[in-house]
Amino acid sequence: MTARVTVLYFASLRDVAEIDHETFDTAAPDLRVLYLELRARYGFPMPVERLRVAVDGAFARWEDVPRDGSEIAFIPPVSGG
Amino acid sequence: MARFSLSEVPFDVATLRAGLLDARVGAYASFEGWVRDHNDGRPVDGLRYEAYATMAEREGEAILAEACARFPILDARCVHRTGDLAIGELAVWVGVTAAHRDAAFAACRFVIDEVKARVPIWKHERYADGDAGWLHPG
């Protein structure tokens, strides 16, 4: 089973990936594995433990399965305020 | 009306404050976060805030709704800047109204703490020595 997902990159992740989003088909069984695959592809320095993950604009769980048509964002530690 | 908003341009606190006041209000508490000229011992020239806008607005609204549910307040609002900011510019404003001061202070503190902890906004600082970088605390 593959799902077509759009992944958004922000802040230091965008700087490393050199893109702010991309759409592709993934067979990753969950969002943790999806991040690990992208980390291997782009060389993100941050381990999964330092990030949170969001799906369609709401915080999600690393164990969630990538859903077809969803928008996924890996959220580095925030620094607003 | 949205209680939380992002603003790409400077905004006027007096207007926001006026929008909160009515006859029921006995107390108004606010927090203003400004861009300072140093961080962690390094001189700072300026900064940029980047947001995951749709999520930041949703998460910000959720925080203000939580504040209204947790504290006996009348209303709570927050505006956060995005884009390039210079030293001395206003970065974030929180305004809370209540019948009494205890709830206004407590809710205002709650809102800014939660915004800093969970709203997807990131600060990119430019340092006087020419270096620059994202702040990812923790």
What is the predicted ipTM? 0.95
Q: Return the residue of A nearest to B137 by Cα.
A: A77
At A6-20, the pLDDT tens digits run: 999 999 999 999 999
At B9-54, the pLDDT tens digits run: 999 999 999 999 999 999 999 999 999 999 988 999 999 999 999 9
Q: Where are the domains of chain B?
A: 4-128
Superfamily of structural domain B4-128: Molybdopterin biosynthesis MoaE subunit (3.90.1170.40)
Q: Where are the domains of chain A?
A: 3-75
* Closest Cβ opposite residue B137 in set A10, A59, A77: A77
* Cβ separation B138–A80 shorter than 8 A: no
* Cβ separation A81–B134 shorter than 8 A: no
The 8-class DSSP code of residue A65 comes to P
The 3-class secondary structure across chain B, one letter per residue, is: CCCEEEECCCCCHHHHHHHHCCCCCCEEEEEEEECCCEECCEEEEEEEEEECHHHHHHHHHHHHHHHHHHCCEEEEEEEEECEEEECCCEEEEEEEEECCHHHHHHHHHHHHHHHHHHCCEEEEEEECCCCEEEECCC
* Cβ separation B55–A78 shorter than 8 A: no
pLDDT of residue A28: 97
At A33-74, the pLDDT tens digits run: 999 999 999 999 999 999 999 999 999 999 999 999 999 999
Separation between Cα atoms, residue A38 and residue B129, nearest integer Å: 33
Q: How far is B91 from chain A (nearest CA, A)?
A: 7
Phi first, then psi, for residue A77 (nearest 5°) are -50, 130
For B55, counting Cβ atoms within 10 Å of its Cβ (0-12 exposed, 13-18 middle, 19+ buried), the class is buried
CATH code of the domain made up of A3-75: 3.10.20.30
Q: How far is A15 from chain B (nearest CA, A)?
A: 10
Q: What is the reported pTM?
A: 0.95
Separation between Cα atoms, residue B85 and residue B64, nearest integer Å: 25
At B68-120, the pLDDT tens digits run: 999 999 999 999 999 999 999 999 999 999 999 999 999 999 999 999 999 99
Structure-derived torsion over alpha carbons of residues A44, A45, A51, A53, reported in degrees to the nearest 10: 10
Using alpha carbons, list the distances in angstroms from residue B42 to A78, B38, B122, B123. Answer: 20, 5, 18, 15
* Cβ separation B51–A81 shorter than 8 A: no
pLDDT of residue B40: 87
Extract the tokens encoding B5.
């908003």
Would you say residue B1 has pLDDT above 80? no
Q: How far is A79 from chain B (nearest CA, A)?
A: 5
List of chain B residues whose C-beta atoms are within 8 Å of the C-beta of residue A79: 116, 121-123, 134-137
Separation between Cα atoms, residue B58 and residue B73, nearest integer Å: 21
